[in-house]
Structure 1
């Protein structure tokens, strides 16, 4: 059996979307147990309002609600103090249970605040030997159907040059283990392809990666090639990567709205688009949805911690759970721990 801890209260649309995705995952995976952390009354209300008694009865032995009266808001601060004072926030209680070997929890998933999760995971779970900074690794697909990895996808707004090597080594291992790429191509996101482009730190990182014989570094990559890059792994600091992702998502949404206006401008275009174009257009935009592949993996920790998108729909959360199950089945955590011992 696989056992997951899930923060029911994390995310823009929690607890409803989290609970919907969680129950769908329990229905689809009979060998799955879930501890659901959050305000019990709200969780139970959602369960009763969304699912039938028959469905709830079918999964009740594999779902346990852990009542936590508090949850972290998206602008949460003072995480160190909250951990020190043992405050019953859903994310923190779940992380402590995940760190406890007696619970047999394989992984923790939350759509809660990223920086709170990063710091709390660092303090509660702890890092692998020699790892000083953890990073978020996001796996995404594009129109060529290849899966690529972006790291750091938001854990560290500012980094030191030596931290990049931690990110690269972990992401390289992720690509080899999960994507079965023997020698992943690695590129550094930058404003130009030349080696002297970017800030001083970008230039120094370029030199550092170029001089490392243990990785397949292919130089800089411009953001306009984000979705059709030859690289298997794109490297960046968390601030830059987050700006790129959010800019791209905003551009896609604007384009979708504009296209909808054109296709619904009159009755004739409405009929044509409904009959001939709707399915293909939906399929086209689905290729650019980075949420479809699930959440981002916190690399460099002693436990498997997954950050689901803050705006997760029930389907996004369902996909994140399936992604996590896949990581567990492939023994990713065990393999990366062995590598760093």
Structure 2
């Protein structure tokens, strides 16, 4: 049985979508048990009894606009997010899912769960939509602004394991986000990382990838520092939202357009789903010594359900142990 801890109070609209997504996951998957940490009084209207659900009353929780998560951790370790992470640290659960503040989850992950022994940094790695509907791993999407080439190489190793074991890519490819496809393009970080990835026999290196190809590329892992990848991710989200607004405006522009929209209702629904990250799940905090999934702060119950599904799949694939083995092998080879 896979045991998952849920931060019941994390998210812009918590606790309703969190509780509903949790209950939906319990109904869908019969091999999971969930412990939800949160204010029982606030969660109560949405809770239902379930033999695989445990509720831990935790009245204190982080606000989504929290500016100083380190101070919060030092002064109150009884917050719902931190208690869920502590359960992972103590091996009471196999994974944690939270839609709470991203930096607080990164801070809690560092201080409570800790990094894997051979990982020097932690990356935020969402699975983003793609044209072929299979998704792509984008990292680091915001945990680190300053990285060294060896950090990015470690991220590439980790993400390749996830792509192979969870996304079922037979020989996953890693692309380096850059301003051009030619070798030698970009900052010193990009040039040195390119050399490191190209020379690594354990990494199937695609080469440089321009951001304009993100939605259509065949590469499975899209790699860059936290500033660049975060900008890319937010640009994708904004573009998807803008396209939806333009499409809606044009449909309303005339009677014939409205009739056409009715005839294309199924196609328009599929179009929306193709650009919707909630169809895939949350972001994995790669580098921690345990599975931690960051669901989007504005997650609805379906998006949070997918975050739990994603955590389940990570545990089933034994990702943490397989990454440890890959990093240990690389360390031995380098010595």
Q: When the two structures are superposed, what TM-score results if normalisation uses the length of structure 1?
A: 0.90
Partner of 1:223: 211
Partner of 1:143: 131
Partner of 1:45: 45
What is the rounded CA distance, in whole Å, between the counterparts of 1:325 and 1:79 in structure 2?
A: 27
Task: Give the SS at the match of 1:218.
Answer: strand
Whether 2:115 is the aligned partner of 1:127: answer yes
Q: Say how many residue pairs are matched.
A: 328
Say if 2:62 and 2:80, in contact at 8 Å, map to a contact too.
yes
Task: Give the SS at the match of 1:294.
Answer: coil
What's the RMSD between the two structures over aligned residues? Answer: 1.9
Whether 2:252 is the aligned partner of 1:264: answer yes
Partner of 1:64: 54
Say if 2:157 and 2:326, in contact at 8 Å, map to a contact too.
no
Task: Give the SS at the match of 1:74.
Answer: coil
Per the TM alignment, residue 80 of structure 1 is displaced from its structure 2 partner at its CA by: 3.5
Aligned pairs (5 A) from 1:242-253 = 242-253=230-241
Whether 2:3 is the aligned partner of 1:3: answer yes
Per the TM alignment, residue 306 of structure 1 is displaced from its structure 2 partner at its CA by: 0.7
Say if 1:172 and 1:233, in contact at 8 Å, map to a contact too.
yes
Closer, same or farther in 2 for the Cα pair 1:182/1:247, shift >3 Å? same
Say if 1:10 and 1:112, in contact at 8 Å, map to a contact too.
yes
Partner of 1:308: 295
Partner of 1:233: 221
What is the rounded CA distance, in whole Å, between the counterparts of 1:141 and 1:255 in structure 2?
A: 15
Aligned pairs (5 A) from 1:195-234 = 195-234=183-222
Partner of 2:331: none
Q: When the two structures are superposed, what TM-score results if normalisation uses the length of structure 2?
A: 0.91
- The more displaced of 225-234 and 263-272 is 263-272
Partner of 1:51: none
Per the TM alignment, residue 335 of structure 1 is displaced from its structure 2 partner at its CA by: 2.7
Partner of 2:313: 326
Partner of 2:84: 94
Unaligned runs of 5+ in 1: 48-55
What is the rounded CA distance, in whole Å, between the counterparts of 1:266 and 1:180 in structure 2?
A: 45
What is the rounded CA distance, in whole Å, between the counterparts of 1:191 and 1:340 in structure 2?
A: 29
Regions of 4+ moved over 6 Å: none
Say if 2:10 and 2:61, in contact at 8 Å, map to a contact too.
yes
What is the rounded CA distance, in whole Å, between the counterparts of 1:337 and 1:196 in structure 2?
A: 31
Deviations 1:142-175 (A, max 9, x none): 2223332211122223322221122111112212
What is the rounded CA distance, in whole Å, between the counterparts of 1:313 and 1:36 in structure 2?
A: 17
Task: Give the SS at the match of 1:306.
Answer: strand
What is the rounded CA distance, in whole Å, between the counterparts of 1:110 and 1:268 in structure 2?
A: 44
Task: Give the SS at the match of 2:33.
Answer: strand
Say if 1:128 and 1:340, in contact at 8 Å, map to a contact too.
no
Per the TM alignment, residue 182 of structure 1 is displaced from its structure 2 partner at its CA by: 4.1
What is the rounded CA distance, in whole Å, between the counterparts of 1:145 and 1:78 in structure 2?
A: 37
Task: Give the SS at the match of 2:315.
Answer: helix
Closer, same or farther in 2 for the Cα pair 1:181/1:257, shift >3 Å? closer
